[in-house]
Amino acid sequence: MMAGQLVVELRNVSFGYPPAGLKQPVLEDVTLEIGRDDFLGVIGPNGGGKTTLLKLMLGLLEPLRGTVRVFGRRPAEVRHRIGYVPQHARIDPGVPATVLDVVLSGRLGRSSWGAWYGRPHVEAARQALALTGMEAMGGRRLESLSGGQRQRVLIARALASQAELLLLDEPTAGVDPHVEQGLTDLLHRLNQRMPIVLVSHDVSFVSTHLKRVACLNRRLTCHAARDVSWEVLAPLYHEGVRGVRHREECPLSDPGCHEGCPPGLSDERIGP
């Protein structure tokens, strides 16, 4: 991938939490490139380093070895250009905040007056709500919304800073299938505007709906989504898994992925 097309670049990144550090690495020798139109899913077992990877991209953690660059700079320098939806967003239900208030909190890094928001900030928040299909809910209290609606509000908050890169940690966890489909459609629309990195435990969801899959369990390997097979998953999880291999054309030409997809591969059950 050419340098001008890169949004995120990790080179030989290793990281471990103190006090053990690199004696017990969470990530080891990770190299990854993310381009401007990428929609990357990150899968792997618990403790495999998925959330740590996102925090390195955000600049909340620094690698102990290797380099991380976002938009060609250190992540902490461009954090205002990154939208982040954590797995467990904590919003105190006792605070009488409306949906618009929650989305406006995503503008904190852009406001020179702290928590005071002028008209441009309110307009940016309303635009973010419109992008997520929640423009009619601005005056509602957050606790009155369904789980899927709350997730859309949190995505809107991430977009309110005029993000150019979107990172999501388990955005479809615990939602019904029809809600998941709606969120998937929303993310595909947003992917027309910006690259997206999505962490998930749902292998079927990632391999069905996303362009590219990073398999992470301390070390990372990247595949075209249609190449996520039983042979790929078995060493990743070290246990029995089941999945479906889907018929579709490989959309990728990234040298970091496994190319040469065999033509005409029909849907088939994989696993033991």
Residue 221, pLDDT > 80, answer yes
- 111 within 8 A of 117, measured Cβ to Cβ: yes
The pLDDT of residue 193: 95
d(Cα 256, Cα 206) in Å, to the nearest integer?
Answer: 18
Residue 220's pLDDT band (boundaries 50, 70, 90)?
A: very high
The pLDDT of residue 114: 46
The pLDDT of residue 85: 94
Q: What is the pTM of this model?
A: 0.81
Q: What is the pLDDT of residues 256-267, one digit of tens each?
A: 444 434 333 333
Owner of token pair 């369990």 = 217
The pLDDT of residue 113: 47
Q: What is the pLDDT of residues 62-118, one digit of tens each?
A: 999 999 999 999 999 999 999 999 987 666 666 678 999 999 988 876 544 445 567
Highest mean pLDDT among 36-45, 57-66, 147-156: 57-66
Residue 41, pLDDT > 90, answer yes
Residue whose C-alpha is closest to residue 98's, from 56, 141, 150? 141
The stretches of the chain forming alpha helices (DSSP H) are 50-58, 99-104, 119-131, 147-159, 177-191, 203-209, 230-237
- CATH number for the 3-71+164-270 domain, one of 3.40.50.300, 3.40.50.2300, 3.40.50.150, 1.10.10.10? 3.40.50.300
What is the helix, strand, coil percentage profile of the chain, to 5?
Answer: 35, 25, 40
| Segments making up each domain of the chain, as ranges | 3-71+164-270, 95-163
Task: Write the CA distances from 42 to 57, 153, 256, integer angstroms.
Answer: 13, 23, 14
* % of the chain exceeding 90 in pLDDT: 52
* % of the chain exceeding 70 in pLDDT: 77
What is the overall mean pLDDT for the chain? Answer: 82
d(Cα 32, Cα 79) in Å, to the nearest integer?
Answer: 19
The pLDDT of residue 238: 64
Q: What is the pLDDT of residues 227-256, one digit of tens each?
A: 776 666 766 776 555 554 544 444 443 444
